[in-house]
A and B are shown apart, each in its own frame.
Chain A
């Protein structure tokens, strides 16, 4: 089925964005990335570590998966903007996953700093994919600021709690003129399918795969879940009813 995800005019065949965070081994990460079918993967910027085993940079080059640098670990607009600029230098891409969190315990986005950073980065020519709260008003404000995608959370990062507020996501989807990517909170395949059924354009996840007992198997499950959820959304689900509605007609029923 030709149904690409389009962000800022660029097409992706997969609607699953698999992050690289949390994997204990690079070789297993590579197999999981390939199994997921992802065409875009998040990476971070950290101090060089000469003792690091293997190179993530080489892995990306080898697999041809496009990197999306993030601003993880930033608590202020200032730090996030600097980090985005460093990611642009290191990876020669003006795309950024903007993440500005409020505190370590919840890792929830700080709306004030997030919006400030988004405005600055859009002005600086970045294609901004903004990790945000499941708040329809903030999503609209980010879109007004010119972000290329809004990425509401399903639940806190790494929590695996799934989608805690499906109604807000539906409102965000209904109002948004840019792609909506469910980012954070996914625990298992059904969560990813639900996100797509709710109308999200894509799902971004990392921990659910990288910390699964079998990351390659879970990556495969996520690939299918995202495809299934997307198809179900396009196909149109039946309305929910409190009472039964027979699928077998009573016409021609035998008198016994």
Chain B
């Protein structure tokens, strides 16, 4: 079973029951320097492993970028 969530604007299939931590790993990202919001709310790092993603949810995965 897979669910599809919208990650940074792109439909992304994930295993059913996948958490934010699973998503970050699936994207091949080092967790440091990363921040995640689901449905417009910030998911704190220590809860990444608990927060399960459900079908259709909007996820933003952000990193440090250049800015003034």
Residues of A within 8 A of B (CB): 19-23, 29, 42-50, 55-57, 60, 67, 69-70, 72, 82, 85-87, 89-91, 157-158, 184, 204-207
Contacts and interface: CB of A to CB of B under 8 A. Distances in A.
Decide if the interface of chain A is mainly helix, strand, loop or mixed. mixed
Given A82-B40, A90-B33, A56 B28 contact: no
B34 interface: yes
Nearest to B60: A47
Contacts of B61: 47-48
Given A82-B40, A86-B35, A87-B35, A48 B8 contact: yes
Given A43-B67, A57-B33, A82-B40, 11 more contacts: A19-B68, A23-B66, A46-B63, A47-B9, A47-B60, A48-B8, A72-B68, A89-B36, A90-B62, A90-B63, A157-B68
Contacts of A49: 63, 65
B65 A56 contact: yes
Contacts of B26: none
Contacts of A91: 33, 64
Interface string B22-53: 00000111001111110011101100000000
Interface of B: 8-9, 27-29, 32-37, 40-42, 44-45, 60-68
A21 B37 CA distance: 23
A255 B67 CA distance: 67
A67 B42 contact: no
A45 B42 contact: no
A163 B12 CA distance: 48
B23 to A, nearest CB: 11
Nearest to B10: A47
Nearest to B36: A89
Nearest to B66: A20
Contact of A19 (B28, B40, B67): B67
Given A50-B28, A82-B40, A43 B64 contact: yes
Given A48-B8, A57-B32, A57-B33, A85 B67 contact: no
Given A45-B35, A48-B27, A57-B32, A72 B67 contact: yes
11 contacts: A44-B64, A44-B66, A48-B29, A48-B62, A50-B28, A56-B65, A57-B33, A57-B63, A89-B44, A91-B33, A207-B68
Contacts of A57: 32-33, 63-64
Given A86-B42, A90-B34, A90-B35, A47 B62 contact: yes
A44 B40 contact: no
A45 to B, nearest CB: 5
Residue of B32, B33, B62 with highest tally of chain A CB at under 10 A: B33
Given A47-B61, A48-B8, A89 B66 contact: no
A86 B67 contact: no
A44 B67 contact: yes
Contacts of B29: 48
Nearest to B45: A89
Contacts of B8: 47-48
